Amino acid sequence: MTSHSNGNSDSFVKMPTIKFTKLFINGKFVDSISGKTFETIDPRTEEAITRVAEGDEEDIDLAVKAAREAFDNGPWPRLSGFGRGRIMMKFADLIDEHAEELAALDTIDAGKLFGEGKAGIPQSANMLRYYAGAADKIHGEVLKMSREFHAYTLREPIGVVGHIIPWNFPTSMFLGKVSPALAAGCTMVVKPAEQTPLSALYYAHLSKLAGIPDGVLNVVTGFGPTAGAAISSHMDIDAVSFTGSTEVGREVMQAAAKSNLKTLSLELGGKSPLIIFDDADLDKAAELALLGILYNKGEVCVASSRVFVQEGIYDEFVKKLLEKKKSWTVGDPFDPKVRQGPQIDKKQFDKILSYIEHGKREGATLLTGGKPLGHNKGYYIEPTFFTDVKEDMLIAKDEIFGPVMSLMKFKTIDEAIKKANNTTYGLAAGVMTKDLNVANTVSRSIRAGIIWINCYFAFDRDLPFGGYKMSGFGRDFGLDALYKYLQVKSVVTPIFNSPWL
């Protein structure tokens, strides 16, 4: 039976000291122009951690002006790639030195598992190292023209970038967006999610210590409808990278179109299928299905929320899934025995519970879970699995962003592909089979940005990540992410004695 740990967090780890709560603009921590602040809440206790400066349109404008000055007249875009890379390497080293404190901040702010964060933050710092190594390898091409001209291309930084990042992975999203933009020579304004501002402000502090010049990296904490909207519509921001819901992505796209037609990269929602064929290793399939929906409490855009199982193994698979679920402990994320912490906030907590009620009303069978799990405090929800799910049910169509799995059967490979593609989203998919022909057929037939075969959540710095359809466009990670912060410029000169002179 799933258990809930409610011990004193201090018995597991020393609580972090909150050092930075103001906006970071032009290399300094400053109050918001309005003087307003907002509470950031610990989802384990539902209590306020601290108050953070609330930036809005005026503060975004101030940060953009600092970023524009740093881009137009500062050293960062003019440094050699090697020079930028050295500073980024130092930034990464400083993150390693403060990994425990940063992990604790993400635990109290986002409910993330402390042990995973402590191990994972150095891996996220390696994102800086990866792009630092690419910074001095940015180059164009010499072109063979069909006429008597000499031509070549330059890759130049796109300019001032706005990063709007979500709350589910505060560290990896921050470094995943900032790192390639820094390597490209861009300057930027980052708006972390209002639910998780603390680690972003700490990273801003470390960037200053690393030697990143003033104005290059600015962090403005605040809310989406004010600070986020101001980034999307600002006339002096050249590009925006947004990760979040499809609904907000639409608003960002409209604002970009109505303002200065800024370049966009949107990584949006998902409703990812995991397809398990009858030749799959059932133990491994059950483990991956469990991990695919419960990792990070289901607050993952690529969560395997739709699990399709070939009908011949369905009953056996369900037995194994329930057996493995018994060892999945929900509780305080500082506890090293816990595998699932609290949902991010009350709004998300209530949203997940409302979808569970929808599933029951629409006729799906609640196999396990479905209730809050806690002792009057904390946004904890039991791992919840539904069977007898129909494709037109809300729990099978909408992105719930929580620990809720929909189990469905299929007969043939063609039916599996059709069901997997029956969604407005196209972010990720998983395939479990020992048959290489089946794996190849399905991976080429599903319209999604990443397909995992006999694995799940297999990300890497080298691996481009993004979506099809309403899951957005543009790619994070890999060299694709670097190139989206670079403009291509063509330069043409006539060859001596050319008749075109």
Is pLDDT above 60 for 5?
no
Query: How far is residue 422's CA from residue 415's CA, in Å, rounded to a whole number?
Result: 11
* Domain coverage including residue 345: 273-453
Determine the Cα–Cα distance for residues 220 and 240; give it in Å rounded to an integer.
15
Residue 17 lies in a domain: yes
Can you give the C-alpha Rg of the chain in angstroms?
Answer: 24
Instruction: Quote the mean pLDDT of the chain.
Output: 95
Whole-angstrom Cα distance, residue 319 to residue 283? 10
Do 279 and 262 belong together in one domain?
A: no
User: Is the torsion defined by CA of 467, 469, 472, 473 positive or negative?
Assistant: positive
Which of 127, 119, 122, 120 is closest to 88 using CA atoms?
A: 127
Q: Name the band, by pLDDT with cuts 50, 70 and 90, for residue 496.
A: confident
- What is the helix (H) or strand (E) element at residue 22, kind and residue range? none
432/429 Cα distance (integer angstroms): 10
Say what the pLDDT of residue 1 is: 33
- The pTM of the full predicted model, rounded to 2 decimals, is 0.95
Residue 305 inside a domain? The answer is yes
Contact predicate 220/197, CB 8 Å = no
Are both 446 and 401 inside the same structural domain?
Answer: yes
196: left (phi over 0), alpha (psi -120 to 50) or beta: beta
Q: Is 9 a residue whose pLDDT tops 80?
A: no
Q: What is the CATH number of the domain that holds 286?
A: 3.40.309.10
Residue 21 has pLDDT above 50, yes or no: yes
- Residues 475, 413: one domain? no
Whether residue 96 contacts residue 69, with contact meaning beta carbons closer than 8 Å, is answered with no
* pLDDT the model gives residue 375: 66
Q: Is residue 460 part of a domain?
A: no
Residue 461 belongs to some domain of the structure: no
**Averaged over 168-182, what is the pLDDT?**
97
Q: Which of 6-10, 198-202, 489-493 has the lowest mean pLDDT?
A: 6-10
SS3 46: coil
Give CA–CA dist 292/201, Å, rounded.
30
Beta bridge partners of 162: 189, 240
How many domains are there within the chain? 2
Check whether residue 294 and residue 417 sit in a common domain: yes
* CATH number of residue 126's parent domain: 3.40.605.10
Give domain status of residue 497, yes or no: no
318 occurs within a structural domain = yes
Same domain, 89 and 203: yes
Same domain, 369 and 421: yes
**Alpha-carbon gap, residue 488 to 157, rounded angstroms:** 9
Residues in contact with 418: Cβ distance below 8 Å, sequence separation at least 6, in sequence order: none
Query: Which of the residues 251, 267, 299, 382 is marked catalytic?
Result: 267
**Same domain? 325 vs 438:** yes
462 within domain boundaries: no
Task: Identify whether residues 323 and 233 lie together within a single domain.
Answer: no
What integer pLDDT is reported at residue 376 of this predicted model? 76
CB neighbours of residue 337 within 10 Å: 12
Residue 116 annotated among the catalytic residues of the structure = no
pLDDT at 495: 87
**Do 22 and 140 have their domain in common?**
yes
Same-domain status, 235 and 373: no
Residues 311 and 219 occupy one common structural domain: no
Give the pLDDT confidence of 101-144 residue by residue, as tens digits.
999 999 999 999 999 999 999 999 999 999 999 999 999 999 99
Q: What tens digit of pLDDT does each residue of 73-100 get? A: 999 999 999 999 999 999 999 999 999 9
Per-residue pLDDT averaged across 236-257, rounded? 97
Statement to judge: residues 25 and 44 lie in one domain: yes
pLDDT in tens, 358-407: 999 999 999 999 999 976 799 999 999 999 999 999 999 999 999 999 99
pLDDT per residue over 338-372, tens digit each?
Answer: 999 999 999 999 999 999 999 999 999 999 999 99
pLDDT band at 430 (very low <50, low <70, confident <90, very high): very high
